[in-house]
Amino acid sequence: MRPAGYPSPMLHLASQSPRRRELLGRLGLVFELLDLDVPERREAGEAPMDYVRRVAREKAGAGLLQVVAVPGAIVLGADTEVVLDDEVFGKPRDDRDAAAMLRRLSGRTHEVISAVSLVSASREAQAVSTSEVTFATLSDDDIAAYVATGEAMGKAGAYGIQGRAQTFIAHLSGSYSGVMGLPLFETAALLTTFGIAPSPPRAGAPSPAESAVLPASQPRTTSPTEGLFHD
């Protein structure tokens, strides 16, 4: 049951990422979470930018299929990837893989691409944020200690800018929130074009984690729909 007084939200976040949930909540919006399982596999010869944009679009599209019966439903999907030497660094498989990624990033500048897609039954739009992140030179002890915290798991490139890895970052050019997982400037601009006006919480209001997210509705059964979107 939804909390008393809450309207049925038009906006749905096609992600279970706690970081995206927190970031979207900073815009002062009420939204509902959708649980999806969208494959994140880069196709042969696919450029990193094209890959990130495609995955964000596929997440939003898969989410829309879950709420297609909801009048005025709008779904936000996003994807963020770390790119170095044209290689996309996804989420590490295990601690060993995480350490290997961090060794590659050590002392170098990499790119973080974050794409946001908004879709409804009648339209879609997308925005992309690209940032450059320079890592300090990391020792083996630095890497081992960070991996041991468990923070590297579940994050593209095996690090979270909002956590202990902040001490690794010598320079950032671009969007902090984009590196974290949801570029808020681009997201707010997209939402406005769909008639959803961000309203940052007032001082003293409940935190986004406490008030922005409504409990997920009961699963909705929908049949696959082809041709919802076009390039």
User: Which residues are annotated as catalytic?
Assistant: 79
CA distance 211 to 2: 12
Q: How many CB atoms lie within 10 A of CB 91?
A: 17
Task: State how far the Cα of 213 lies from the Cα of 62, in Å rounded to an integer.
Answer: 20
Task: Return the SS3 of 105.
Answer: helix
In this structure, how many other beta carbons lie within 10 angstroms of the beta carbon of residue 181? 25
- For residue 180, the one-letter residue type is M
Q: Give phi and psi for 80, each to the nearest 5.
A: -130, 130
Q: Which of 80, 117, 121 lies closest to 228 in space, CA to CA?
A: 121
114: three-class secondary structure by DSSP: strand
